[in-house]
Amino acid sequence: MKVRYVRYSVLVIILALVLYLAFGYGTRSFEAYCPFGGAESLWGLFTTGEFTCALSPLNLSMLLALLVLALVSKKAFCGWACPIGFFGELLGRAGCAVTGRRLHPSQRLNGALKLLRYIVLVLFLVLTYKTGELVLRGYDPYYLIFSGVGHGTAGVVSYIVLVGLGIGALIVPMFFCRYFCPMGAVFDPFSRLGLIKITRDGEKCTECGNCQTACPHSIPVQSFSRVRHRDCTNCFECVDACPEGDVLTVRASI
Ligand code: SF4
Ligand code: SF4
């Protein structure tokens, strides 16, 4: 059975839980489970000892737990739990179904555009620390979708952002995750060290490239003996796509 079915089942369950919270049925807001809220709260905690705006210790706990997870299994959170990653992947598949092909930007362009997520990270942390407000709310697809472009968003600009990210995801899979997600930028150094990773048997590999084509992040798996790449979410799409039975395996290695 393809690992994707298991992964999508996990993602659907998590999406249902977030929707449950978003419709006001839980005791906490869906925002309380956002790990980036942990990063946004740090300055306020250091300077005033208080959490910024609607943030709470749960956001900080989520951040710390997911950084530990990244050290164990890279960006598994992004591929196995994040609703925005799930939407990005589904939209990428829908775009591919319409056009008949997946657009993979060149490695050079892809690498250059990824710098944007560091700019987003620094910009929104500085703005949050300076204003004491959760400025990212107006541009964050997680908040925009699950709040229904609600309180604290940026009006028509928020709708433009949401539509732009949706169109981008139809063209390039994981458009927001690749180029704009500030949480992805926080994970990057931890993910590079992640213990569990895809390993490739170079002797048996035919270098057909199916693995890279299937990878939502266009990682050139066929170029590595171990996939240490910072963007790998351990989604195992490459393993499912490899026509040679035991070339790609999942191992704990440094
Ligand atoms: S899909 Fe398998 S055989 Fe083909 S390049 Fe990737 S690892 Fe090698
Ligand atoms: S390299 Fe394989 S496991 Fe990693 S993100 Fe790409 S498809 Fe998923």
Tell whether ligand 2 has an atom less than 6 A from the beta carbon of residue 237. Answer: yes
Q: What CATH code is assigned to 195-252?
A: 3.30.70.20
Find the 250 Cα to ligand 1 centroid distance in Å.
14
Closest atom of ligand 2 to CA, residue 227? 1
Residue among 241, 252, 243 nearest 2 (CA): 241
pTM of the predicted structure, to 2 decimals: 0.91
User: Tens digit of pLDDT for each residue in 138-185?
Assistant: 999 999 999 999 888 889 999 999 999 999 999 999 999 999 999 999
Which residue among 200, 222, 226 is best mutated to probe the pocket of ligand 1, counting the most ligand atoms within 8 A of its Cβ? 222
Work out the mean pLDDT of the chain and round it to a whole number.
92
Which residue among 244, 249, 250 is best mutated to probe the pocket of ligand 1, counting the most ligand atoms within 8 A of its Cβ? 244
The rounded distance, in Å, linking the Cα atoms of 17 and 30 is 9
Closest atom of ligand 2 to CA, residue 236? 3
Domain regions of the chain by residue span: 3-190, 195-252
The bound ligand whose nearest atom lies closest to the alpha carbon of 222 is 1
Per-residue pLDDT averaged across 212-224, rounded? 94
Confidence band, pLDDT 50/70/90 cuts, at residue 1: low
User: Tens digit of pLDDT for each residue in 85-111?
Assistant: 999 999 999 999 988 777 778 889 999
